A = this chain, B = another copy of it.
Amino acid sequence: MTTIQDIADKLGISKSTVSKALNDAPDISETLQKQVLETAVELGYTKLRRYKKPAKKLCVIIQRNNIQFEEPHHFAYDIIMGFRQIAEPSGYEVAIVPVDADVQREISYDAFMLQHDFSGAFVLGFSLVEPWMKDFHACRTPTVLYDNHIIGNPMISYVGIDNEEGMDLAIDHLKKLGHQKIGYLSSALGSHIMQVRHRAFFQAMRSHGLKADSSYAGCSYYLSECMEKHLPRLLDMGMTAIICCQDTFASAAITQCQQLGYQVPKDVSIIGFDDIPLSAYTSPPLTTVRQDRIQLGKSGFNALSGLLNEIPLGTILLHADLIVRNSASAPANC
Protein backbone atom coordinates (compact mmCIF):
# COMPACT_ATOMS: atom_id res chain seq x y z
CA MET A 1 0.00 0.00 0.00
CA THR A 2 1.64 3.22 -1.15
CA THR A 3 1.84 6.04 1.40
CA ILE A 4 2.90 9.67 1.24
CA GLN A 5 6.11 8.50 2.97
CA ASP A 6 6.88 6.21 -0.01
CA ILE A 7 6.58 9.13 -2.39
CA ALA A 8 8.73 11.28 -0.11
CA ASP A 9 11.38 8.52 0.14
CA LYS A 10 11.47 8.00 -3.60
CA LEU A 11 12.01 11.72 -4.22
CA GLY A 12 14.20 12.38 -1.19
CA ILE A 13 11.91 15.12 0.10
CA SER A 14 9.81 15.51 3.25
CA LYS A 15 6.37 14.04 3.82
CA SER A 16 4.92 17.49 4.34
CA THR A 17 6.26 18.68 0.99
CA VAL A 18 4.61 15.71 -0.70
CA SER A 19 1.39 16.44 1.12
CA LYS A 20 1.49 20.09 0.13
CA ALA A 21 2.18 19.19 -3.51
CA LEU A 22 -0.73 16.76 -3.55
CA ASN A 23 -2.97 19.40 -2.04
CA ASP A 24 -2.00 22.14 -4.49
CA ALA A 25 -0.34 24.40 -1.88
CA PRO A 26 0.81 27.74 -3.33
CA ASP A 27 4.37 27.54 -1.94
CA ILE A 28 5.31 24.48 -4.00
CA SER A 29 6.82 25.08 -7.42
CA GLU A 30 5.01 23.74 -10.47
CA THR A 31 7.99 21.56 -11.41
CA LEU A 32 8.07 19.93 -7.97
CA GLN A 33 4.32 19.45 -7.91
CA LYS A 34 4.50 17.73 -11.26
CA GLN A 35 7.32 15.49 -10.04
CA VAL A 36 5.31 14.52 -6.96
CA LEU A 37 2.20 13.78 -8.98
CA GLU A 38 4.06 11.66 -11.54
CA THR A 39 5.74 9.72 -8.73
CA ALA A 40 2.45 9.27 -6.89
CA VAL A 41 0.96 7.80 -10.05
CA GLU A 42 4.02 5.61 -10.69
CA LEU A 43 3.77 4.16 -7.17
CA GLY A 44 0.05 3.51 -7.47
CA TYR A 45 -1.01 6.21 -5.04
CA THR A 46 -4.00 7.09 -7.26
CA LYS A 47 -5.88 3.99 -6.26
CA LEU A 48 -5.13 4.28 -2.57
CA ARG A 49 -6.33 7.81 -2.32
CA ARG A 50 -9.53 6.96 -4.04
CA TYR A 51 -10.08 4.03 -1.72
CA LYS A 52 -9.69 6.20 1.37
CA LYS A 53 -11.97 8.98 0.28
CA PRO A 54 -14.08 8.31 -2.79
CA ALA A 55 -13.91 11.40 -4.94
CA LYS A 56 -17.10 12.55 -6.61
CA LYS A 57 -15.53 14.72 -9.28
CA LEU A 58 -15.67 13.68 -12.92
CA CYS A 59 -14.60 15.57 -15.99
CA VAL A 60 -15.36 15.78 -19.67
CA ILE A 61 -12.06 16.30 -21.48
CA ILE A 62 -12.35 17.87 -24.93
CA GLN A 63 -9.68 18.33 -27.58
CA ARG A 64 -10.63 21.95 -28.23
CA ASN A 65 -9.03 22.01 -31.68
CA ASN A 66 -11.06 19.09 -33.00
CA ILE A 67 -14.50 19.54 -31.55
CA GLN A 68 -16.73 22.45 -30.60
CA PHE A 69 -18.97 22.36 -27.55
CA GLU A 70 -19.82 25.85 -26.26
CA GLU A 71 -23.00 26.58 -28.18
CA PRO A 72 -26.19 24.53 -28.50
CA HIS A 73 -25.57 24.03 -32.23
CA HIS A 74 -22.04 22.68 -31.65
CA PHE A 75 -21.49 18.97 -32.06
CA ALA A 76 -20.39 18.14 -28.52
CA TYR A 77 -22.89 20.38 -26.68
CA ASP A 78 -25.59 17.72 -26.48
CA ILE A 79 -23.09 14.97 -25.65
CA ILE A 80 -21.95 16.95 -22.60
CA MET A 81 -25.57 17.73 -21.78
CA GLY A 82 -26.53 14.05 -21.84
CA PHE A 83 -23.56 13.19 -19.64
CA ARG A 84 -24.44 15.85 -17.07
CA GLN A 85 -28.13 14.94 -17.16
CA ILE A 86 -27.35 11.67 -15.41
CA ALA A 87 -24.03 12.40 -13.72
CA GLU A 88 -25.17 15.39 -11.69
CA PRO A 89 -28.38 13.84 -10.27
CA SER A 90 -26.19 10.83 -9.37
CA GLY A 91 -24.19 13.11 -7.07
CA TYR A 92 -21.18 13.83 -9.26
CA GLU A 93 -19.67 17.20 -9.94
CA VAL A 94 -18.77 17.50 -13.64
CA ALA A 95 -15.96 19.76 -14.86
CA ILE A 96 -15.59 20.57 -18.55
CA VAL A 97 -11.90 20.58 -19.40
CA PRO A 98 -10.79 21.75 -22.85
CA VAL A 99 -7.25 20.60 -23.63
CA ASP A 100 -4.84 20.75 -26.53
CA ALA A 101 -1.70 18.79 -27.35
CA ASP A 102 0.48 21.17 -25.29
CA VAL A 103 -1.40 20.42 -22.07
CA GLN A 104 -1.05 16.71 -22.80
CA ARG A 105 2.69 17.04 -23.35
CA GLU A 106 3.18 18.87 -20.06
CA ILE A 107 1.89 16.17 -17.74
CA SER A 108 0.92 12.52 -17.97
CA TYR A 109 -2.78 11.70 -18.06
CA ASP A 110 -3.00 9.93 -14.70
CA ALA A 111 -1.03 12.71 -13.03
CA PHE A 112 -3.35 15.31 -14.52
CA MET A 113 -6.37 13.43 -13.19
CA LEU A 114 -4.80 13.08 -9.75
CA GLN A 115 -3.78 16.73 -9.70
CA HIS A 116 -7.37 17.82 -10.24
CA ASP A 117 -8.86 15.12 -8.07
CA PHE A 118 -10.99 13.71 -10.92
CA SER A 119 -12.02 10.10 -10.36
CA GLY A 120 -12.91 9.51 -13.99
CA ALA A 121 -13.20 11.16 -17.38
CA PHE A 122 -15.21 11.14 -20.57
CA VAL A 123 -12.86 12.08 -23.42
CA LEU A 124 -14.08 13.72 -26.64
CA GLY A 125 -12.45 14.61 -29.93
CA PHE A 126 -9.11 12.85 -29.60
CA SER A 127 -7.32 11.99 -32.84
CA LEU A 128 -4.87 9.08 -32.97
CA VAL A 129 -1.82 11.34 -32.53
CA GLU A 130 -2.84 13.04 -29.26
CA PRO A 131 -0.04 12.57 -26.70
CA TRP A 132 -2.42 11.08 -24.09
CA MET A 133 -3.56 8.34 -26.52
CA LYS A 134 -0.39 6.45 -25.52
CA ASP A 135 -1.15 6.98 -21.82
CA PHE A 136 -4.58 5.43 -22.25
CA HIS A 137 -3.02 2.02 -22.95
CA ALA A 138 -1.83 1.76 -19.37
CA CYS A 139 -3.67 4.43 -17.38
CA ARG A 140 -5.27 3.58 -14.06
CA THR A 141 -7.99 6.21 -14.10
CA PRO A 142 -11.43 5.00 -15.23
CA THR A 143 -11.84 6.66 -18.61
CA VAL A 144 -14.46 6.51 -21.33
CA LEU A 145 -13.38 7.48 -24.82
CA TYR A 146 -15.92 8.78 -27.29
CA ASP A 147 -15.09 7.25 -30.70
CA ASN A 148 -11.72 5.77 -29.71
CA HIS A 149 -11.02 2.10 -29.06
CA ILE A 150 -8.08 1.08 -26.84
CA ILE A 151 -7.53 -2.65 -26.51
CA GLY A 152 -6.20 -4.36 -23.39
CA ASN A 153 -6.73 -1.78 -20.64
CA PRO A 154 -9.69 -2.68 -18.37
CA MET A 155 -9.81 0.95 -17.15
CA ILE A 156 -10.90 2.19 -20.60
CA SER A 157 -14.25 1.99 -22.36
CA TYR A 158 -15.22 3.00 -25.88
CA VAL A 159 -18.57 4.66 -26.53
CA GLY A 160 -19.91 5.57 -29.95
CA ILE A 161 -22.51 4.67 -32.52
CA ASP A 162 -22.39 1.53 -34.64
CA ASN A 163 -20.84 3.08 -37.74
CA GLU A 164 -20.99 -0.18 -39.67
CA GLU A 165 -24.72 -0.19 -39.15
CA GLY A 166 -24.90 3.49 -40.14
CA MET A 167 -23.01 2.89 -43.38
CA ASP A 168 -25.15 -0.17 -44.05
CA LEU A 169 -28.34 1.88 -43.63
CA ALA A 170 -27.05 4.59 -45.99
CA ILE A 171 -26.01 2.17 -48.72
CA ASP A 172 -29.15 0.09 -48.32
CA HIS A 173 -31.23 3.26 -48.75
CA LEU A 174 -29.32 4.29 -51.88
CA LYS A 175 -29.47 0.81 -53.39
CA LYS A 176 -33.23 0.62 -52.86
CA LEU A 177 -33.56 3.99 -54.61
CA GLY A 178 -31.76 2.43 -57.60
CA HIS A 179 -28.15 3.58 -57.15
CA GLN A 180 -25.30 1.30 -58.14
CA LYS A 181 -22.35 3.64 -58.44
CA ILE A 182 -21.77 5.13 -55.02
CA GLY A 183 -18.66 7.07 -53.97
CA TYR A 184 -17.29 8.09 -50.60
CA LEU A 185 -15.70 11.40 -49.56
CA SER A 186 -13.72 11.51 -46.35
CA SER A 187 -11.40 13.70 -44.39
CA ALA A 188 -7.96 12.25 -43.60
CA LEU A 189 -7.90 8.87 -41.85
CA GLY A 190 -6.11 10.29 -38.80
CA SER A 191 -8.83 9.40 -36.32
CA HIS A 192 -10.23 6.06 -35.26
CA ILE A 193 -13.68 6.96 -36.44
CA MET A 194 -12.62 8.07 -39.92
CA GLN A 195 -10.83 4.74 -40.30
CA VAL A 196 -13.91 2.85 -39.11
CA ARG A 197 -16.26 4.65 -41.50
CA HIS A 198 -13.85 4.27 -44.43
CA ARG A 199 -13.61 0.49 -43.83
CA ALA A 200 -17.37 0.30 -43.26
CA PHE A 201 -18.04 1.92 -46.64
CA PHE A 202 -16.20 -0.81 -48.55
CA GLN A 203 -17.65 -3.52 -46.32
CA ALA A 204 -21.23 -2.34 -46.82
CA MET A 205 -20.73 -1.97 -50.58
CA ARG A 206 -19.48 -5.56 -50.71
CA SER A 207 -22.30 -6.91 -48.58
CA HIS A 208 -24.82 -5.19 -50.89
CA GLY A 209 -23.16 -6.71 -53.95
CA LEU A 210 -21.98 -3.33 -55.25
CA LYS A 211 -18.62 -2.68 -56.87
CA ALA A 212 -16.12 -0.42 -55.08
CA ASP A 213 -12.38 -0.31 -55.53
CA SER A 214 -10.11 2.22 -53.84
CA SER A 215 -10.84 4.83 -56.55
CA TYR A 216 -14.43 4.99 -55.21
CA ALA A 217 -13.20 6.88 -52.13
CA GLY A 218 -11.54 10.29 -51.97
CA CYS A 219 -9.82 11.23 -48.71
CA SER A 220 -8.03 14.43 -47.83
CA TYR A 221 -7.08 16.40 -44.75
CA TYR A 222 -8.22 19.50 -46.62
CA LEU A 223 -11.92 20.02 -47.24
CA SER A 224 -10.95 22.10 -50.27
CA GLU A 225 -8.99 19.21 -51.79
CA CYS A 226 -11.98 16.90 -51.31
CA MET A 227 -14.27 19.40 -53.01
CA GLU A 228 -11.97 20.49 -55.80
CA LYS A 229 -10.17 17.28 -56.62
CA HIS A 230 -12.00 14.19 -55.33
CA LEU A 231 -15.61 15.31 -55.79
CA PRO A 232 -15.18 16.20 -59.52
CA ARG A 233 -13.27 12.95 -60.02
CA LEU A 234 -16.10 10.89 -58.48
CA LEU A 235 -18.67 12.75 -60.62
CA ASP A 236 -16.55 12.11 -63.72
CA MET A 237 -16.51 8.41 -62.83
CA GLY A 238 -20.31 8.48 -63.11
CA MET A 239 -21.21 8.22 -59.44
CA THR A 240 -24.92 8.87 -58.95
CA ALA A 241 -24.58 9.09 -55.19
CA ILE A 242 -21.88 10.17 -52.72
CA ILE A 243 -21.71 9.41 -49.03
CA CYS A 244 -19.70 11.87 -46.95
CA CYS A 245 -17.85 11.08 -43.73
CA GLN A 246 -19.44 14.04 -41.93
CA ASP A 247 -22.28 16.48 -42.44
CA THR A 248 -19.92 19.43 -42.92
CA PHE A 249 -18.38 17.60 -45.89
CA ALA A 250 -21.84 16.70 -47.18
CA SER A 251 -23.03 20.27 -46.88
CA ALA A 252 -19.97 21.52 -48.81
CA ALA A 253 -20.46 18.74 -51.38
CA ILE A 254 -24.05 19.82 -52.05
CA THR A 255 -22.90 23.40 -52.72
CA GLN A 256 -19.96 22.27 -54.82
CA CYS A 257 -22.11 19.91 -56.92
CA GLN A 258 -24.50 22.76 -57.59
CA GLN A 259 -21.65 25.02 -58.63
CA LEU A 260 -20.42 22.32 -61.00
CA GLY A 261 -23.88 22.28 -62.60
CA TYR A 262 -25.25 19.14 -60.94
CA GLN A 263 -28.63 19.25 -59.23
CA VAL A 264 -28.97 17.53 -55.85
CA PRO A 265 -30.60 15.05 -55.62
CA LYS A 266 -31.77 14.90 -59.26
CA ASP A 267 -28.30 14.37 -60.76
CA VAL A 268 -26.46 13.23 -57.70
CA SER A 269 -27.60 12.12 -54.25
CA ILE A 270 -25.63 13.15 -51.16
CA ILE A 271 -25.78 11.47 -47.74
CA GLY A 272 -23.95 12.73 -44.65
CA PHE A 273 -22.98 11.39 -41.25
CA ASP A 274 -23.77 12.72 -37.76
CA ASP A 275 -26.97 14.76 -38.17
CA ILE A 276 -25.57 17.95 -36.77
CA PRO A 277 -28.17 20.72 -36.21
CA LEU A 278 -27.11 22.36 -39.51
CA SER A 279 -28.23 19.32 -41.53
CA ALA A 280 -31.90 20.26 -41.53
CA TYR A 281 -30.98 23.64 -43.02
CA THR A 282 -28.88 22.76 -46.03
CA SER A 283 -30.54 23.16 -49.40
CA PRO A 284 -31.86 20.56 -50.00
CA PRO A 285 -32.08 19.36 -46.39
CA LEU A 286 -29.56 16.60 -45.80
CA THR A 287 -30.33 12.89 -45.57
CA THR A 288 -27.85 11.69 -42.98
CA VAL A 289 -26.87 8.98 -40.49
CA ARG A 290 -27.78 10.18 -37.05
CA GLN A 291 -25.73 9.98 -33.90
CA ASP A 292 -28.04 10.44 -30.92
CA ARG A 293 -25.77 12.84 -29.04
CA ILE A 294 -27.81 13.07 -25.85
CA GLN A 295 -27.87 9.27 -25.61
CA LEU A 296 -24.13 9.15 -26.37
CA GLY A 297 -23.54 11.45 -23.41
CA LYS A 298 -25.76 9.33 -21.19
CA SER A 299 -24.03 6.16 -22.33
CA GLY A 300 -20.70 7.85 -21.62
CA PHE A 301 -21.75 8.37 -18.03
CA ASN A 302 -23.21 4.86 -17.74
CA ALA A 303 -19.96 3.37 -18.99
CA LEU A 304 -17.89 5.51 -16.62
CA SER A 305 -20.14 4.64 -13.71
CA GLY A 306 -19.66 0.97 -14.69
CA LEU A 307 -15.86 1.32 -14.67
CA LEU A 308 -15.97 3.12 -11.30
CA ASN A 309 -17.92 0.11 -10.00
CA GLU A 310 -15.45 -2.36 -11.48
CA ILE A 311 -17.71 -3.57 -14.27
CA PRO A 312 -15.32 -4.41 -17.13
CA LEU A 313 -17.18 -2.52 -19.86
CA GLY A 314 -15.17 -2.48 -23.08
CA THR A 315 -17.40 -1.09 -25.79
CA ILE A 316 -20.88 0.43 -25.94
CA LEU A 317 -22.22 1.15 -29.41
CA LEU A 318 -25.59 2.82 -29.94
CA HIS A 319 -27.76 2.00 -32.92
CA ALA A 320 -27.29 4.33 -35.86
CA ASP A 321 -30.36 5.83 -37.45
CA LEU A 322 -30.90 7.07 -41.02
CA ILE A 323 -32.67 10.44 -41.11
CA VAL A 324 -34.28 10.70 -44.54
CA ARG A 325 -34.61 14.29 -45.80
CA ASN A 326 -34.25 15.44 -49.39
CA SER A 327 -30.66 15.14 -50.54
CA ALA A 328 -31.04 11.59 -51.85
CA SER A 329 -33.55 10.31 -54.40
CA ALA A 330 -33.74 7.83 -57.28
CA PRO A 331 -31.05 8.43 -59.91
CA ALA A 332 -32.11 10.20 -63.11
CA ASN A 333 -31.80 7.11 -65.31
CA CYS A 334 -33.87 4.97 -62.96
Interface positions of A from 160 to 203, Cβ below 8 Å from B:
161-162, 164-165, 168-169, 172
Question: Within the complex, which residue of B162, B312, B320 is in contact with A321, where a contact is CB–CB below 8 Å?
Answer: B312
A321 partner residues in chain B, CB cutoff 8 A: 154, 312
Bound state CA distance, A203 and B80, in angstroms?
A: 35
Contact with B along A305-322 (1 / 0, CB 8 A): 000000111111111110
A298 adjacent to chain B (CB < 8 Å): yes
Q: Summarize A's interface: helix, strand, loop or mixed.
A: mixed
Q: Do the beta carbons of A161 and B314 come within 8 Å of each other?
A: yes
Q: Who on chain B is nearest to A298 by CB? A: B311
**Most chain B CB inside 10 Å of its own CB: which residue of A154, A168, A298:** A154
A318 partner residues in chain B, CB cutoff 8 A: 311-314
A261 adjacent to chain B (CB < 8 Å): no
A295 adjacent to chain B (CB < 8 Å): yes
A319 partner residues in chain B, CB cutoff 8 A: 154, 312-314
**Most chain B CB inside 10 Å of its own CB: which residue of A165, A168, A172, A320:** A165
Q: Who on chain B is nearest to A207 by CB? A: B151
A152 adjacent to chain B (CB < 8 Å): yes
Closest CB in chain B relative to A90 CB, distance in Å: 15
Question: Within the complex, which residue of B169, B311, B316 is in contact with A313, where a contact is CB–CB below 8 Å?
Answer: B316
Question: Within the complex, which residue of B152, B168, B313, B315 is in contact with A151, where a contact is CB–CB below 8 Å?
Answer: B168
A292 adjacent to chain B (CB < 8 Å): yes
Bound state CA distance, A276 and B136, in angstroms?
A: 30
Bound state CA distance, A161 and B164, in angstroms?
A: 18
Closest CB in chain B relative to A94 CB, distance in Å: 20
Q: Who on chain B is nearest to A157 by CB? A: B319
A313 partner residues in chain B, CB cutoff 8 A: 299, 316, 318-319
With A292-B312, A314-B317, A314-B320 given, name 9 new contacts (CB 8 A): A151-B162, A151-B168, A152-B165, A152-B172, A154-B319, A315-B316, A315-B317, A316-B316, A316-B317
Ranked nearest first, the 3 interchain pairs of A and B with the lowest CB-CB distance are A312-B319, A315-B317, A162-B314
